[in-house]
Structure 1
């Protein structure tokens, strides 16, 4: 159970007891946070539902379709009953439907449940669930469903299996290995207890607890710490046959999980014939291509785990769970891309197995129903679009959020904020957002300010915003249990908190001490939370203040695995185990809705969340959590971000410089370079880390860092256009190379370099002392260095990458818009002119797009935007409207840079509504670069520029 203790807040800092607490806190911190304690987190062997289903002593139950039960329902697909060969098992009801996107959905529930299982009703988009009527062909032992060109589904009756066919070939096979299981609800009659609850008095030997740290161990009044004891859970089943192992309760780390509904696990195998590479199931600190967890030559002994957790300074190259979880796997071959979305927010383990014939996955979840969606592709772009139609695309972010963010735990007071801001100004160093961590609050009471150090928060923000910049404050989900704290008292009075089994408010330990947690699964609770962001409610806030939702896995320092007990319940009485992986997304959603509410629905929100699930991209950005200031964590950032992007969540980044520890100038420059080519670009550091604002390293490092950030800002028109494409199509802005080059097998495992959109390839330096980089340039070339504009042929090339240089090249055949004027922030760039970099392919052609809107509001949803399409062919550059709109902007095109033009032109002329005539130009015969100056056409008008 939960131990309730009195927390002594900052107003009692003078007390002797608090001084002891703070000392113990710091000692516990210094000894524990600089490496993850894996013993705090369960493996499959330590988890009953995974252990008993993964390691069955005999064959699993076999299921078959009852032929007489098969019924077709037109657009609603078909239904049938599944029967197990275990006589006591009740029948299951299966439904299969096909959506107009081509996605096939299979759901399996108990036909006559003792208690209906909880299902999340607000994750999938209603618009995506439009069914079509497939052509059905019934046979004696199977049913064939045909839909779309070359797509079919075959349901085999005995044994039960489902095969997705693309152009006649099996692309995905469900239950082909017969590993489907469905543990049915049952009543507990005379079952013995499998684990005894921990005796709290015995555990703490009568000592008074004054706090907890993130390891979940108590800090006592006398300054001592609780000593970790060996966990009671055995890796072996509690009963000899393994069938009732962990059915009704189990213990781990001194916590007992009661299971009043008994076992409820579901699972199935999904195999991909002919495939060698699987991707997805973020978040893990591992390679982008999933590693084998079972079978000959397995890389890991434990399955990948999806269970959102607060993991301090996570280990690398392990399948353990981290902050987010998207239960989606992709298979990609030269034949095409196919996916499987296991729509289940409960704790889930995934085994991966590979051989020469196929790549295979096996899914084991604690509870829920079987809700599996097969995504047919066939191209990577098709498949990603089909998935994001289900859960939503990345909403278009405000432009400022694509700039550079400066963060630290913590900027200590208003003077510190002013000094940091002033130094950026002095150095002409662009940035857009300054962040405040938990210490800005009054004793970790969110929506408040510590008057001692932030007495004038509005004036502080106004001093930042007049330079076009924003601020962010942290607002975590745990609320301090203090009757003098208005947020807590109102939440208590309205009954908005998650409950213990006895109906009392749940009480766990986090940064403020004793805390309760809002039930964000409830729409009315999210509405109440959104109201708190109104300016009249969040005192000291302004319209230029945005939000950071941290610790929302949720993190509970004294809870099992640093999270909430599974048997606490939401306001509908549904156990936490059913919706655990959704909690962080629900909080981020409520916060984003709060931003929208405070602006009257006019302005786009910006919310950063640490925890995420499928569909989180609709509500904001995420980052990869508490990384470390070392080269290994820099290197792992790219596969992590690529995997997250493949999960539909493209607005992501890693803390530049690493959160824990100290970084030297070389690592900082290299990390800033890498971060500048990722979607979310934020420098962050722990409060025990040395200050690492850009000027702290001295010259030449400061100038090198400024050059990196300036290059990022110059490419913001391109990034913004990519985010529009992500909004409309779901395609990630940061991509593995195989998305753009799906036939090139050399790219299938490549995760140390990536594409920014379709037109820039990047490979950062991720080791010290490196001055040369071998990079793979896909396609048939040429490629051009984004800085020097030097040309390179396709294939593996070695580039000089001294400290001030990153390997980044533009694809021949592309047109990329840039803005080249140095500004302090994106706000002052909005009317700046564009320069088009026109990189020619072998045929002398190029094309590209430019998206323009007001960069702030939702007006683009009503057509107030411009999408320009540029095409250069036969020595004519033409700009046309990609989408018919009447939106206009004052930006002009001030320069054209043609890269790879073989001969110097005699004349260059322009023709448009605003300007007609000859243009001045320069031609570099060595580099084959033509620079056309001052075409001065409007960026949103049609124009032609002829090179002759």
Structure 2
């Protein structure tokens, strides 16, 4: 809302332009929000959207890089009834007229559209960053989202997973929670477990209601601070993979966070599993959502899976029970994955299958805008003790690393040929420069672990 204040230029302009929503009798509708009594722009009017968007450039010139749209369901404070506009409030509805019963779900969407279009006009070579509490079908074109004002409880942590999965399936891929919940005081254990889960979600931040206890990581002391630091470092290491998934979402609509049934949608046994998720096609994340738990059961979809922390291998489909100490949550990597991570510049972690093929993509651009990019596609094929790795790319952006590392999991190289030239190798890591094809002869490292049970 816009505060009713004759000394506030935005209020004066809006009144002069007739930009605010009105009641059926023609009076400007007023509602109570955080600034006090407010009026509300009618974002269903294209002229109002253009006027509203005109206020962003001054803020951008001050150095503001992104904008957070809150309370835009729209919400008003109410002693009783619905905490929003009366349904009789009138809206332009793109010129044909209508009331709030029709416009309510569109309000947040069109507010974000107004900002996005204004920022694109002002900075055509940059991507606008908007964060919104509300929206409607299509809001992912304009803004990121978060899961709202959740409670600081174990039940809310569990619901967060289902909510992020559901938003992704609804076409909204860029979302995540307030770490620790918004309202309340999370225990040290709850904050750690929430941070660990959120480290694998697109939107990643800590935030809380005014008046709640401070929750910066150092407030919790040790060992919490070291655990949180490790997962923050892991998040940074995963950025090449997350950035590639974000590009994939923009191209295909596939969410970053996916349900376990994503590649097995006909398996009804997976439909109700809401306490674990896939991050892209490579990772399976099983957060700990019960207080005091130091073990948990994890269902593995069909195929071979590597334990992320120790490379133990398992075969799905089926359930396994694994350790979940306070400093770790269960994470698994699908065999056949090539996982790019920001380690020593770039490291490609190659999780070799016992037989067959695998793949992984890496998207890279200049970090903003709509200029040159490149997609690097890595493909592997295993035949006995021989592994073939092929590399092709598309796009005009130059490859940014002179050398990078291949790290093999489940496979110990003993002889390597890079584009027909033999190369030395020590252990499971191989330093390479750009290539077209690598042949590796090697031995399996580690045994295939237990098969999951029912």
TM-score normalised over the length of structure 2: 0.91
Structure number, greater radius of gyration: 1
Cα shift at 1:687: 1.5
Distance of 2:402 and 2:29 partners within structure 1: 58
CA deviation map 1:13-61 (0-9, x unaligned): xxxxxxxxxxxxxxxxxxxxxxxxxxxxxxxxxxxxxxxxxxxxxxxxx
Q: Which residue of 1 aligns with 2:314?
A: 792
Is 1:866–1:887's contact at 8 Å kept on the other side of the alignment? yes
Q: Which residue of 2 aligns with 1:541?
A: 62
Q: Which residue of 2 aligns with 1:935?
A: 432
Q: Which residue of 2 aligns with 1:918?
A: 423
Cα shift at 1:583: 0.4
2:350 to 813, 834, 838: 838
Matched, 1:587 2:111: yes
Distance of 1:525 and 1:818 partners within structure 2: 45
1:694 to 217, 221, 225: 217
Distance of 2:180 and 2:362 partners within structure 1: 32
Distance of 2:21 and 2:116 partners within structure 1: 21
Distance of 2:399 and 2:368 partners within structure 1: 14
Does the residue aligned with 2:426 lie in a helix, a strand or coil?
A: strand
CA deviation map 1:107-131 (0-9, x unaligned): xxxxxxxxxxxxxxxxxxxxxxxxx
Q: Which residue of 1 aligns with 2:47?
A: 524
Distance of 1:648 and 1:885 partners within structure 2: 27
Q: Which residue of 2 aligns with 1:894?
A: 404
Is 2:139–2:172's contact at 8 Å kept on the other side of the alignment? yes
Is 1:834–1:892's contact at 8 Å kept on the other side of the alignment? no
1:660 to 176, 183, 187: 183
CA deviation map 1:317-368 (0-9, x unaligned): xxxxxxxxxxxxxxxxxxxxxxxxxxxxxxxxxxxxxxxxxxxxxxxxxxxx
1:578 to 91, 97, 102: 102
Q: Which residue of 2 aligns with 1:712?
A: 235
Matched, 1:851 2:388: no
Matched, 1:946 2:439: yes
CA pair 909-513 structure 1, distance change in 2 beyond 3 A: same
Distance of 1:765 and 1:748 partners within structure 2: 19
Is 1:622–1:652's contact at 8 Å kept on the other side of the alignment? yes
Matched, 1:722 2:245: yes
Cα shift at 1:484: 0.4
Cα shift at 1:677: 1.3
Is 2:415–2:424's contact at 8 Å kept on the other side of the alignment? yes
Contiguous gaps of at least 5 residues in structure 1: 1-477, 822-832, 923-929
Q: How does 1:627-646 map to 2 (within 5 A)?
A: 627-646=150-169
Distance of 2:119 and 2:297 partners within structure 1: 45
CA deviation map 1:697-755 (0-9, x unaligned): 11111111011111111111111111111111111111111111224332121111111
Structure 1 stretches (4+) deviating beyond 6 angstroms? none
Distance of 1:520 and 1:726 partners within structure 2: 27
Q: Which residue of 1 aligns with 2:381?
A: 873
Q: How does 1:38-437 map to 2 (within 5 A)?
A: none
Does the residue aligned with 1:652 lie in a helix, a strand or coil?
A: coil
Cα shift at 1:911: 2.8
Q: Which residue of 2 aligns with 1:775?
A: 298
Distance of 1:539 and 1:727 partners within structure 2: 25
Distance of 2:378 and 2:138 partners within structure 1: 32
Cα shift at 1:651: 0.7
CA RMSD of aligned residues (A): 1.7
CA deviation map 1:154-185 (0-9, x unaligned): xxxxxxxxxxxxxxxxxxxxxxxxxxxxxxxx
Does the residue aligned with 1:872 lie in a helix, a strand or coil?
A: strand
Contiguous gaps of at least 5 residues in structure 2: 442-454
Q: How does 1:475-514 map to 2 (within 5 A)?
A: 478-514=1-37
Q: Which residue of 2 aligns with 1:566?
A: 87
Is 1:735–1:755's contact at 8 Å kept on the other side of the alignment? yes
CA pair 843-893 structure 1, distance change in 2 beyond 3 A: farther
Cα shift at 1:540: 7.3
Distance of 2:439 and 2:287 partners within structure 1: 37
Is 1:676–1:709's contact at 8 Å kept on the other side of the alignment? yes
Is 2:363–2:373's contact at 8 Å kept on the other side of the alignment? yes
Distance of 2:68 and 2:326 partners within structure 1: 32
Q: Which residue of 2 aligns with 1:649?
A: 172
Distance of 2:310 and 2:45 partners within structure 1: 54
Q: Which residue of 1 aligns with 2:417?
A: 909
Is 1:582–1:612's contact at 8 Å kept on the other side of the alignment? yes
1:602 to 113, 125, 145: 125
Is 1:547–1:607's contact at 8 Å kept on the other side of the alignment? yes
CA deviation map 1:618-647 (0-9, x unaligned): 011111111111111101101111111111
Aligned residues: 432
TM-score normalised over the length of structure 1: 0.44
